[in-house]
Amino acid sequence: MKREDFTSEQARWQAVERRDAQADERFVFAVVTTGIFCRPSCRARRPLRANVRFYPDAAGALAAGFRPCKRCQPDKAPPEQQKAMRIAAACRLMASSDAPLTLAELAQNAAMSPYHFHRQFKAVTGLTPKAWQQALRVQKVRNALRKEEKVTDALYAAGYACGSAFYREADAALGMTPRQYGRGGESASVVWTLAPCQLGLCLVAQSERGVCAILPGESREALEAELLALFPGAQPSQDAAFDERVAQVIAFLDAPQGKWALPLDIRGTAFQQQVWQALRDIPAGSTLSYSELARKIGKPGAVRAVASACAANKLAVVIPCHRVVRGDGALAGYRWGVARKAALLAREAKVKKEK
């Protein structure tokens, strides 16, 4: 139903009869026999039409002397917004806490049962409260190490109870040891070079584990700055063997139809890696919406988190985040420019049609 359809009393009454949630923020209805006003979607028994009065908002109904329904709470934020506000408050609480908080503590602060809080938190953020706090602690350690703090001081300040707890997570979270990360990855042997491709200029970087960044762009200076923000100690390559590997990368970027054969160094949170793996399962020439991708990984409420994971991708084309579009089919933002996204999709569609 279009937005303007709720302007007449007949349309509003029809919305009340349907318990239409889309009308909830458009108006409220009051019942003169009970003195109570409700949202159109309220599940209470429907009143007689003759006893119903309509008001543009809760303030209007309150001014007319009606009381808000205790069931649908029309004088408060919408239920989905309330849920998001409670989860946001929990995220702020975790970020400000010096020590990890238990599920029971978080649930009590949100005035919810632990089970209900856990389920709603994961639906909104795509992560469990425990995984969220782990990511926060890792980020605190990263920030501290960048400030040249000692590794021991950094991990205890981030809330780790002991060093072993952090070192169990450090390799996957940082992609190197904490000491290497604190020194800007100086011992991680990240090397890079530039090469032209159909997308323009492309920077390819490799660690000891494999290709860790593929960044298309316009200028050497911008690409180098982007890489150094990710890997502060990375150095330009002078290795002929690496140049051969880069040629393989460029060949794949220009014609990504075969199977990727080179080792990858994929660094990210568990959730990001889950999204990136799902992206790699999208066939060339096909697209998914952000909501479809969220459902594919089993987290239908984590659409924004999925979009953020796509934006954090460091391996253009190899992890094909360009194959994710908006729900209406429009090309949403792309880390390396919407024009490149359109070109990639057009090229893949053409190849698919020719097969």
Q: What is the CATH number of the domain that holds 115?
A: 1.10.10
Q: How far apart are CA 294 and CA 278, in angstroms?
A: 9
Q: Is 321 a catalytic residue?
A: yes
Q: Residue 141, exposed/middle/buried by CB under 10 A (0-12, 13-18, 19+)?
A: buried
Pair 13, 89 in one domain = no
Backbone angles phi, psi at 39, to 5 degrees: -75, 155
Pair 152, 195 in one domain = no
Residue 147 pLDDT: 53
Residue 187 binned pLDDT confidence (cut-offs 50, 70, 90): very low
More confident residue, 178 or 231: 231
Pair 350, 279 in one domain = yes
Q: How far apart are CA 261 and CA 248, in angstroms?
A: 9
Residue 348 pLDDT: 86
Pair 122, 141 in one domain = no
Residue 12 pLDDT: 93
Residue 264's alpha-carbon distances to 112, 139, 175, in angstroms, are 42, 23, 12
The per-residue pLDDT of the chain, averaged, comes to 81
Pair 304, 333 in one domain = yes
Residue with tokens 């253009």: 316
Tell me: pLDDT of 343 over 50.
yes
Pair 197, 220 in one domain = yes
Residue 122 pLDDT: 81
Tell me: pLDDT of 165 over 80.
no
Closest CA to 133 of 79, 90, 167: 90
Instruction: State how many domains the chain has.
Output: 5
Strand 324-325 vs strand 28-31: parallel, antiparallel, or unpaired?
A: unpaired
Cβ proximity of 232 and 184 under 8 Å = yes
* The one catalytic residue among 69, 91, 212, 321: 321
Cβ proximity of 268 and 276 under 8 Å = yes
Backbone angles phi, psi at 105, to 5 degrees: -65, -45
Q: Within a domain: residue 74?
A: no
Q: Within a domain: residue 199?
A: yes
* Out of 37-41, 246-250, 270-274, least confident range: 270-274
Tell me: pLDDT of 124 over 90.
no
Pair 291, 232 in one domain = no
Q: Which DSSP letter does residue 303 get?
A: H
Residue 161 pLDDT: 46
Residue 156 pLDDT: 44
Q: How far apart are the first and last CA of the chain?
A: 42
Q: Please report, as a single letter, which amino acid is at residue 225.
A: A
* Out of 69-73, 299-303, 308-312, least confident range: 299-303
Residue 321 pLDDT: 93
Q: Is 38 a catalytic residue?
A: yes
Tell me: pLDDT of 24 over 70.
yes
Cβ proximity of 67 and 59 under 8 Å = no
Per cent of the chain over pLDDT 90 is: 29
Q: Residue 186, exposed/middle/buried by CB under 10 A (0-12, 13-18, 19+)?
A: middle
Q: Within a domain: residue 310?
A: yes
Pair 84, 55 in one domain = no
Q: pLDDT tens across 55-106, in order?
A: 999 999 999 999 999 988 898 877 767 777 888 888 888 888 877 889 999 9
Q: pLDDT tens across 212-255, in order?
A: 999 999 889 999 999 988 888 888 987 888 888 899 999 888 88
Tell me: pLDDT of 3 over 50.
no
Tell me: pLDDT of 21 over 90.
no
Strand 67-68 vs strand 200-206: parallel, antiparallel, or unpaired?
A: unpaired
The whole domain housing 290 covers 270-354
Residue 48 pLDDT: 94
Q: Which residues pair with 213 in a beta bridge?
A: 205
Pair 14, 57 in one domain = yes
